[in-house]
Structure 1
Amino acid sequence: MNELILKLPLIFFIISFSIFLVNYFKDSRSLVVGFELLVSLIFLGFYLTLLVFKYENIPYVVNIAIFLAIIFIILIFILMISLLIVLFTSGIKLIKREGLRLSHMLSLGLGVSYILYIIIWPIFFDLTKDSIFNSIYYALNSIIFYITFLMTMFVLTLFINLIPKKKNYNYIITLGAGLIKDEPTPLLKARIDKAIKKYNKNKNSKIIMSGGQGADEIVSEALAMKNYAIKKGVAEKDIILEDKSTNTDENIKYSYEIINDIENKNVNILVVTSYYHVLRALIIAKKQGVKCDGSGSMTKFYYALNAIIREFIGYLYIKRKTHIKFILFICFLTLFPMILQIIQK
Structure 2
Amino acid sequence: MIFGIIPLILFIIFLYFYLKDPRRIINGFLFNAFFCSFLLFCLIASYQSKYENLHLIIAIPVLALIMMLPFGIVALMVGLFLNAKTLMRKEGRRFSNCLTLLAAIGILLFLLLPIINPTSLFSSHLQPIFSGIALIAVYFFVHLSNFLTAYFLYQFNRPRRNQDFIIVLGSGLINDKVPPLLASRINKAIDFYWKQAAVTTPPTIIFSGGQGPDENLPEAEAMQKYAIEKGIPIEHTVQENRSINTYQNMLFSKQIMDSLKDKYKSIFTTNNFHLFRAGLYAKQAGLNSQGIGSKTAFYYWPNAMIREYIAIVMMGRKRHMKVVGVILGFVTFLSVISFIFS
Equivalence for 1:72: 65
Question: Aligned runs of 1:255-270 on 2, under 5 Å?
Answer: 255-265=253-263, 267-270=264-267
Stretch moving more, 177-186 or 34-43: 177-186
CA distance in 2, matches of 1:179, 1:306: 20
CA deviations on 1:200-250 (whole Å, 9 max, x unpaired) are 233432211111122222222111111111222222222111011111121
CA distance in 1, matches of 2:217, 2:224: 11
CA distance in 2, matches of 1:59, 1:157: 37
Cα shift at 1:343: 5.1
Helix, strand or coil for the counterpart of 2:300? helix
Cα distance 1:293–1:74, how it changes in 2: closer, same or farther (>3 A)?
Answer: farther
CA deviations on 1:77-99 (whole Å, 9 max, x unpaired) are 44323321221111111112211
Question: Aligned runs of 1:72-111 on 2, under 5 Å?
Answer: 72-111=65-104
Contact 1:124-1:137 within 8 A present in 2 as well = no
Question: Aligned runs of 1:41-52 on 2, under 5 Å?
Answer: 41-52=35-46
Amino acid at match of 2:177: E
Pairwise CA RMSD: 1.9
222, 225, 228: which is aligned to 1:224?
A: 222
Equivalence for 1:303: 300
Question: Aligned runs of 1:305-324 on 2, under 5 Å?
Answer: 305-324=302-321
Contact 1:181-1:217 within 8 A present in 2 as well = yes
Cα shift at 1:290: 1.9
Cα shift at 1:39: 0.4
CA distance in 2, matches of 1:141, 1:151: 15
Stretch moving more, 296-305 or 325-334: 325-334
The reply on whether 1:113 has 2:111 as its aligned counterpart is no
Cα shift at 1:20: 1.1
CA distance in 2, matches of 1:234, 1:89: 40
Helix, strand or coil for the counterpart of 2:125? coil
Stretch moving more, 202-211 or 85-94: 202-211
111, 122, 127: which is aligned to 2:121?
A: 127
Amino acid at match of 1:140: I
Equivalence for 1:7: 2
CA distance in 2, matches of 1:264, 1:344: 69
Helix, strand or coil for the counterpart of 1:271? strand
331, 334, 338: which is aligned to 2:328?
A: 331
Equivalence for 1:247: 245
Contact 2:159-2:290 within 8 A present in 1 as well = no
Stretches of structure 2 that go unaligned for 5 or more consecutive residues are: none
CA distance in 1, matches of 2:240, 2:251: 10
Stretch moving more, 195-204 or 107-116: 195-204
The reply on whether 1:212 has 2:207 as its aligned counterpart is no
Amino acid at match of 2:233: A
CA distance in 2, matches of 1:287, 1:140: 32
Cα distance 1:217–1:69, how it changes in 2: closer, same or farther (>3 A)?
Answer: same
CA distance in 1, matches of 2:68, 2:155: 24
Equivalence for 2:150: 157
CA distance in 2, matches of 1:169, 1:73: 46
CA deviations on 1:283-304 (whole Å, 9 max, x unpaired) are 1222222222121111112212
Amino acid at match of 1:62: H
Amino acid at match of 2:121: L
The reply on whether 1:290 has 2:287 as its aligned counterpart is yes
Contact 2:210-2:241 within 8 A present in 1 as well = yes
CA distance in 2, matches of 1:246, 1:20: 35
Cα shift at 1:74: 4.3
Cα shift at 1:310: 0.9
The reply on whether 1:143 has 2:141 as its aligned counterpart is no
TM-score (norm 2): 0.92
Stretches of structure 1 that go unaligned for 5 or more consecutive residues are: 1-5
Stretch moving more, 234-243 or 105-114: 234-243
Amino acid at match of 1:19: I
Cα distance 1:59–1:315, how it changes in 2: closer, same or farther (>3 A)?
Answer: closer
Equivalence for 1:32: 26
Amino acid at match of 1:195: A
Paired-residue identity, %: 31
CA distance in 2, matches of 1:108, 1:59: 46
Cα shift at 1:25: 1.4
CA deviations on 1:298-329 (whole Å, 9 max, x unpaired) are 11122121111111111111111011011112
Contact 2:6-2:37 within 8 A present in 1 as well = yes
User: Which runs of at least 4 in structure 1 moved beyond 6 Å after TM superposition?
Assistant: none
Amino acid at match of 2:56: N
